[in-house]
Amino acid sequence: MVGKQVAEQGSGQNINAMLNVGLNVQIVLGQSRMSISQLLNLSRGSVIELDKKIGEPVDVMINDRLVARGDLVKVGDNRIGVTLTEIVKDYVSHS
């Protein structure tokens, strides 16, 4: 029984160590394609038209991988957040 307790404690320590690992989380509002000359002409106040429409779900990316989709929500006076509406399942190939 003592061996089992030690193994469980070791697993807990490993999980706790992983909980502090930083991940790159991005919320993708949309994208646009433009030439370098168009990019160089941008200035403060320029508008870039994105490929998504208002009300369409945004993509949630973690470490450049699509993991979920969600809707933008207002959080407080000057902030926005995302409420998740769909978790994207990994593609599993069956051999």
Listed by start position, the domains of the chain span 23-95
Give, in order, the Cα–Cα distances in Å from 88 to each of 17, 26, 60, 68. Answer: 26, 15, 9, 5
| Residue 54 structure tokens | 């208002």
Domain boundaries 23-95, CATH class: mainly beta
β-bridge partners, 84: 70
pLDDT for residue 11: 59
91 has a pLDDT exceeding 80 = no
Contact 62, 22 (CB under 8 A): no
5 has a pLDDT exceeding 80 = no
pLDDT for residue 8: 53
